[in-house]
Amino acid sequence: MEKVNAIPSLTWHRLRVNEASEKGAFPPVPRRGWGAGDVTLVKVPRGITVDEDEPIACEELESGLGQYGDRLISENANSRWAVTVEKKIKNPLIIEDSVAAGCACVTCGSVYAVAGSALKIIHIFRGDEGVSQSLTRIYLEEGAQVELCEIQLLGAAVSRHCGVAAFGQAGSQFRYTRMELGGAVTVCGAKAVLSARSAAFDMACAYMGTGDEYLDFNDVANHIGRETGSEMHVFGVLGGTADKILRGTIDFRPGAGRSVGHESESVILMSPGVRNRTVPLILCGEEEVEGQHAASAGRLDEDALYYLNARGISPEEARRLMIEAGFRPVADRIPDAKLRDEVLEELGRRIASL
């Protein structure tokens, strides 16, 4: 099996975290008789150019899924979109992927951000059955700012693979928000290459795994330029017999002096049957850098639950409030109030099913 979500630096094979397991393998798409899902650019703000031809600069970028995963999505894509932004755009570009039973929604998109430009993108994934795959590649020239928000609201019978690749020149900023609330199989990999001075990567993610769902994440920040910065922070909830692996890598390359990278993950375990594996990794090829990583996992705080119950809040409502508090900082980054409210409502329904 070709490797998907391979960690940049191998650890002990017996830990089985070096790459996605067979559960996370790509399904054989396209299949005979499978239809194509729907991909709609719901809102296209003025000031951007939309095309189907991917810029050459974006074609070379690699996501956290790795070359194999990127190639499969690119070759099998049944929908393509490309955006060029040349100025600061206030309103977000909204894209919606919808997959149905017997369908595969395979999307390949790219963003080329000209120097000094700015764009926000909201990418929503919906559907109860089928296969959902996406690859988004972003090239940021000097001082460009791109914000990508991916919201996954898939059903429990969907297989999902998602790759994000970004390359930032001097002074560029890439802000990435990812919320994963469903899917039988969820495999996501993001990689940001901070190539020149003061380029920055800010990632905030939240996920929920229930039943026998499999979740696999591989997020990488490559610091190449001086004084670059990365922030990668994740919150998750696991219930049932869910199986999750998260790999977070901060890689300080030679020449990345005075760069700073922080990463963390906090996981709430709602069942003794879950399997939770976290691999925070810092690679250091430069001396004058600052890198920090942290990970925590445990049950809901019993003292906090007791405090809320003693003040007339039911155990179910107290549990919902505490879990939602972890998701809130990520949900607040969604740049659309109506969609943010929808996500929080859906989150409440899914918390009730834990």
The CA distance from 120 to 162, in Å, is 18
Place of tokens 């999307």: 107
The residue segments making up the domain with residue 148 are 39-298
Q: Is residue 166 part of a domain?
A: yes
The CA distance from 282 to 292, in Å, is 8
Q: Is residue 158 part of a domain?
A: yes
Q: Is residue 228 part of a domain?
A: yes
The percentage of residues in the chain with a pLDDT greater than 70, rounded to a whole number, is 98
**Residue 31 pLDDT more than 70?**
no
At residue 318, the 3 state secondary structure works out as: helix
Q: Is residue 10 part of a domain?
A: no
What does the pLDDT look like over 296-341, one tens digit per residue? 999 998 888 888 888 889 988 988 999 999 999 999 999 999 999 9
What does the pLDDT look like over 150-205, one tens digit per residue? 999 999 999 999 999 999 999 999 999 999 999 999 999 999 999 999 999 999 99
What does the pLDDT look like over 40-74, one tens digit per residue? 898 999 989 998 788 999 999 999 999 999 999 99
pLDDT at residue 1, rounded to an integer: 55
Of 137, 138, 190, 187, residue with least CA distance to 158: 187
Q: Is residue 350 part of a domain?
A: no
Number of domains in the chain: 1
pLDDT at residue 53, rounded to an integer: 85
Q: Is residue 27 part of a domain?
A: no
Can you state the angle between helices 315-331 and 337-352, rounded to 10 degrees? 140
